[in-house]
Chain A
């Protein structure tokens, strides 16, 4: 249950707050808590109503066999009562170990892991490379920066359609490849190329965020560190390895975590790029959506169970990630 309390602020707090905090807490700590609770009340209420209640309800649904045929619904003036029944953990067992579980869950799971790893690695490496280039004293770097941010500035649902035009069978990309006498893959039909195209489009969309965040990180590194390193005869690579990378650590750990979460949950790109046409290129999120809303009858219970499993994967990942970061930090402290 670690929370995101960063070293930086932790230290700052350690310097400032405890003293006045302690003193006041002794005097009127009771009152202070009262204020705090009044201030967080709106969010707690909203989260309770909009997140916890649906979450609990969704979890309950996963224990039933609800689909669109047996749920409560209104047809014209007739109201039909819900008739789904409780089936315990059957949905989970079916998804994880049932017949054809590999096709329905594990293949998508593996593809989701590959997708997340590939996209985040590409985002980070390209973003860092561009950030390093932009961090130099270079003529026209503001101009480059403005253009490079463009994929982030335009809403994803707009740019994905641009990509769809380009990736179409006789679209510009294949025309160009043919003109160069290279094979022209069927980007939107063939499974491998669908996956390739999805990663490509997502990389295109995601690099600007990484680039801009890392550029911010680079600019906050104290330049005297570089001077000192140079005095000591460090090569450019050594400066990069021992000054730049450690200096980027706080920003990197945050953006990588955000990147993993966002990419893992990335819905719009795959959904808009392929619609319902590519069962094998669906990551778990879009696959769960398709079960719940992209087919008839709508498998509500199964879809919700996928959702809970996804959440579980993310929670496990995040806790490990934080523990790993913290362990690293302790080593640094020693």
Chain B
């Protein structure tokens, strides 16, 4: 029977999860809050610094400025940005990235939606096997599919084409979206389906007229997640795209170091230009994203 007031103060990483308003508790709370602020501030600085550093370096005009950051202050300029936007393949890369990512997103969500619904509501022979396959495809290392995909795509002459890359991305996006959407459909009450059936809708009608409109947030999460994954994918894009006007950003960014003899200042500027819209978008939807991810996982 220890008293609550003394021991917790010495307790390690176990802050008050349920703060109450008793006297001594509040006094101790102030010290704990201060410590929390300290730890969180340090963690925030660590999280922020590499990105802030990248932004800072992108303002230095010379390619070796990253080794002498002190000199950047005196000659800060936006030249890198204007150069990247006007002289490099930036707009081509933007186009490729958007085409490939949006293509994957649209196909992934459209193909996966009905299946997510089916595995959420119906039990049919082979259900367990299908769920197992959906889970299994999520742990495919890229090393498993990259070689056969390369061979197959080169036979079909789809190497260095957007379509080829979209198809490859769909192999991960489709099962993932199905999994994610199942999690979301599980949260929609079954009574709605039953009401639809009573009113004489077929299962397809129920799905398209009742459930799909209700599932818009879930669809958005699945779409967003496929988009981000396709946008940031490195291995397949580096291998399957050959001409530098078709590069996605993930490949194009690497080409600064090899081809333009290490123009790191331009690379940093491009990196910042890519990061700003993507992270802005991310912040808009992140809350939904997390709920969707864990719902899809835990309720699998």
Q: Tell me the A residues contacting B by CB distance below 8 Å.
A: 1, 3-6, 8-9, 16-17, 20-21, 32-33, 35-40, 42-44, 46-47, 50-51, 53-55, 57-58, 61, 71-73, 129-130, 132-138, 140-141, 144, 146-159, 161-163, 165-166, 168, 170-172, 204, 208, 212-213, 216-218, 221, 223, 226-227, 230, 233-237, 239-240, 243-244, 250-251, 254-255, 257-258, 261, 264-265, 267-268, 271-272, 284-285, 288-289, 292-293, 300, 303-304, 306-308, 310-311, 314-315, 318
Would you call B15 and A170 a contact (CB within 8 A)?
Answer: no
Residue of B nearest to A322 (CB): B135
Name the distance in Å between A75's Cβ and chain B's nearest Cβ.
12
Complex-state Cα separation, A79 to B156, whole angstroms: 13
- Residues of A within 8 Å of B82, CB to CB, are none
Q: How far is the CA of A153 from the CA of B283 in the complex (A)?
A: 7
Cβ-neighbour of A136 out of B33, B41, B125 (below 8 A): B33
Known contacts: A3-B135, A148-B47. The answer to whether A36 contacts B122 by CB under 8 A is yes
The 28 listed contacts between A and B (C-beta, < 8 Å) are A3-B128, A17-B190, A35-B204, A36-B118, A71-B151, A132-B13, A132-B15, A133-B15, A133-B39, A136-B19, A158-B253, A161-B54, A161-B267, A162-B51, A165-B66, A171-B67, A216-B291, A216-B294, A230-B18, A233-B4, A236-B4, A244-B17, A265-B139, A265-B140, A267-B142, A288-B143, A303-B143, A303-B146
B122–A32 CB distance below 8 A: yes
Evaluate contact between B47 and A147: CB separation under 8 angstroms.
yes
Q: A138 touches which one: B8, B33, B282 (CB < 8 A)?
A: B33
- In the docked arrangement, what's the CA distance between A243 and B17, Å? 10
Q: A144-B44, A230-B20 are in contact. Are A37 and B174 (CB under 8 A)?
A: no
With contact pairs A161-B253, A310-B141 given, residues A268 and B234 touching in the complex (Cβ less than 8 Å): yes
Q: Find residues 49-72 in chain B having any chain A CB closer than 8 Å to their own CB.
A: 50-51, 53-54, 57, 66-67, 69
Q: Pick the interface stretch among B85-93, B109-117, B213-221.
A: B109-117
Size of interface on B: residues with Cβ below 8 Å to A: 117
Known contacts being A40-B114, A148-B47, is A157 close to B133, with CB within 8 Å? no
Contact call B144/A311, Cβ cutoff below 8 A: yes
Give the interface of B toward A (CB within 8 A): 1-4, 7-8, 11-20, 33, 36-37, 39-41, 43-44, 46-48, 50-51, 53-54, 57, 66-67, 69, 111-112, 114-115, 117-119, 122-125, 128-152, 154-155, 167-168, 170-171, 174-175, 178, 186, 190, 194, 202-204, 207, 228, 231-232, 234-235, 238-239, 249-250, 253-254, 264, 267-268, 271, 274-275, 278-279, 282-283, 286, 290-291, 293-294, 297-300
The chain B residue with its CB closest to the CB of A126 is: B43
Contact assessment for A237 and B14 in the assembled complex, using a CB-CB cutoff below 8 Å: yes
Give 13 new A-B contacts, CB below 8 A, not counting A3-B135, A213-B293, A267-B235. Answer: A3-B300, A39-B114, A43-B134, A46-B111, A132-B14, A157-B249, A158-B271, A161-B54, A218-B17, A239-B14, A254-B300, A293-B146, A318-B135
Q: Are B36 and A136 in contact (CB under 8 A)?
A: yes
Chain B residues, Cβ within 8 Å of A159: 50-51, 54
Report which residue of B18, B154, B274, B291 has the largest number of chain A beta carbons within 10 angstroms of its beta carbon. Answer: B18
Q: In the bound complex, do residue A237 and residue B11 qualify as a contact, i.e. CB atoms below 8 Å apart?
A: yes
A42/B111 in contact, CB under 8 A: yes
B291 CB contacts on chain A under 8 angstroms: 216
Given contacts A36-B124, A204-B47, A285 and B4 within 8 Å (CB-CB): no
Q: State in angstroms the CA–CA spacing of A9 and B186 once bound together.
A: 8
Chain A at the B interface: mostly helix, strand, loop or mixed? Answer: helix
B128 near A157: Cβ-Cβ < 8 Å: no
| Nearest-Cβ distance from residue B140 to partner chain A, whole angstroms | 6
Residues of A within 8 A of B145 (CB): 51, 54-55, 58, 307
Determine the distance from Cα of A163 to Cα of B57 in the docked complex, in whole angstroms.
12
Task: State whether A285 and B143 are in contact (beta carbons under 8 Å apart), knowing that A3-B135, A3-B300, A43-B174 are contacts in the complex.
Answer: yes
Are A292 and B123 neighbours in the complex by a CB distance under 8 Å?
A: no
Given contacts A250-B298, A307-B141, A314-B139, contact A292 B147 (CB under 8 A): yes
